[in-house]
Chains A and B, each alone.
Chain A
Amino acid sequence: MMPIWTKSGEKHAVTLLKVQDCHVLRYVPKEESGGKRAKLFVGGKNASPFYKSESAMEIFKEAGVPRKQKVTTFNVTDDAIIKPGTPLYAAHFRPGQFVDVTAKTIGKGFQGVMKRWGFKGQPASHGQTKTHRRPGAISTNKASKVYRGKKMPGKMGNIYRTSFGLKVWRINTKHNIIYVNGSVPGHTNCLVKVKDTKLPSYKDCNKNPPFPTFFADGDEKLPEDLYDEEMFQFTDPSVTYA
């Protein structure tokens, strides 16, 4: 995570996400997939092919791509279908876009009710016998049962969570890095899924995105760094309020 300054001198914290060897693996048309849209399987970081069975390696062999650490699905409209085997780059996103980031949260193991659900516990002194971090009452007398989903101690973390509506400030095309506003779930160097926002307030923010994706062997030659309009670039002189 890094600080970033705007042209008006405000500071924002930014997370760096690296797009590491992403390829499209398979296209599943609308009829075969059980939903309303076609699906595209996309694979992430490269990994060793020797630790998986032959049947699992079939998808990668069809696409002609080394084995990937993580495979995710994206629901896609018919005009955004990409041929399996195309690499995906960070330039697929542009500065000024808004993005949702999904990842597995840091696993905390088996945790008590105070850390897991934020319960207040009991006082440390004034006569409490062996009760300082316990949940207290779990149901009423009339219910005479414990409701499903009652907040109780258990394994915390290591589940998929999403942060919505994160602004993209900067894109580095050489190293394939996306600078995303705010924090992102997961530990450092964990695998993360980046999608366009589902929030309705940012519907009009993607003005001219590269559609269906950014092709590296195409005609477009992008500069090494793409900045958002409001972001302060370090090549400019210091900010003044004249």
Chain B
Amino acid sequence: RVHSDGKPEKFQPPPKPVIIDKQRQREERRFLSPEFIPPRGRTDPLKFYIERRDMIQRRKVFNIPEFYVGHVLAVTTAEPYASEKASRFVGICIQRGGKGLGATFVLRNVIENQGVEIRYELYNPRIQVIEVLKLEKRLDDNLMYLRDALPEYSTFDTSMKPVSRLDNEEIPVNKLQVQMKPKPWSKRWERPKYNIKGIKFELPEKKMKEAQKWSQPWLEFDMLREYDTSKIEEKIWKEVSEELKK
């Protein structure tokens, strides 16, 4: 190229191509289902090992997808007394509880103006299919406050189509701030012990300050409450991924 002056431009090398190795990126993301992590206690680790073997057995036969609190799931269960012997329920996952084979998750939906919550066990043999319809994490681990939020936030269409998603890295976090029904609520969600970031509190400042009276800032520094699971998680992740590949 020649400038308007007539002088030749200094040679600029072309920019280096940025190589995104998609395979390596995919492997880097590890998800270990929270029920694999053993709780703190004096139980023999052999018990957790045997339970894990059973859980991996079940996962080989029946696919349990990766999901977090805030995903919209559709679960088909076999019911002995239902017509067609199978019932399908669609809902948002509010809570994931339990460890080991007894791990559960609660799905919430509002059907014909009636809020319905169903607790399913992940390893129950009566569950036929678990489909993830919509993938999005929310700001909290526990969405129990949806019971006191306006019903529009818990309604999901039963015939919703699964939202397509590539095998990307990150699961999008929905920073939705939910509007609540007028007080009284089932729990005092403004108190710091619940540590909720997903509610749009429209309470006066005075009430919010009063709620901070129940804060326990020393809990964060309590060394006896610490339970560092990083090493345990790595070991279990290796074990589980090796077994599942077989």
Contact = CB atoms under 8 A, between A and B. Distances in A.
Interface of A: 2-3, 5, 9, 11, 16, 18, 172, 175, 177, 188-189, 232, 234-242
A35 B138 CA distance: 70
B50 A172 contact: yes
Nearest to A6: B125
B47 interface: yes
Contacts of A240: 78, 85-86, 128
A242 B47 CA distance: 35
A175 B42 CA distance: 19
B43 interface: yes
A11 B122 CA distance: 13
A177 B46 CA distance: 10
Contacts, number: 64
Q: Which of B46, B85, B100, B126 has the most CB of A within 10 A?
A: B126
Contacts of A232: 125
Nearest first, the 7 closest Cβ-Cβ pairs linking A and B are A234-B57, A234-B58, A239-B125, A241-B80, A9-B126, A241-B85, A3-B102
B85 A236 contact: no
B54 interface: yes
Contact of B121 (A3, A177, A242): A3
A5 B58 CA distance: 12
Main secondary structure of the interface of A (DSSP, over half): loop
B47 A16 contact: yes
A238 B128 contact: yes
A180 to B, nearest CB: 14
Interface string B11-43: 000000000000000000000000000000111
Count class of interface residues, chain B: 20 to 34
Given A235-B61, A236-B61, A2 B80 contact: no
B80 A9 contact: yes
Given A5-B125, A239-B78, 19 more contacts: A2-B100, A3-B121, A5-B124, A5-B126, A9-B80, A9-B125, A16-B50, A172-B50, A175-B50, A177-B50, A189-B44, A232-B125, A234-B58, A234-B123, A235-B57, A237-B61, A238-B61, A241-B78, A241-B85
A241 B86 CA distance: 8
Contacts of A238: 61-62, 78, 125-128
B243 interface: no
B51 interface: yes
B178 interface: no
Contacts of B127: 238
A239 B126 CA distance: 5
Given A2-B102, A234-B54, A11 B124 contact: yes
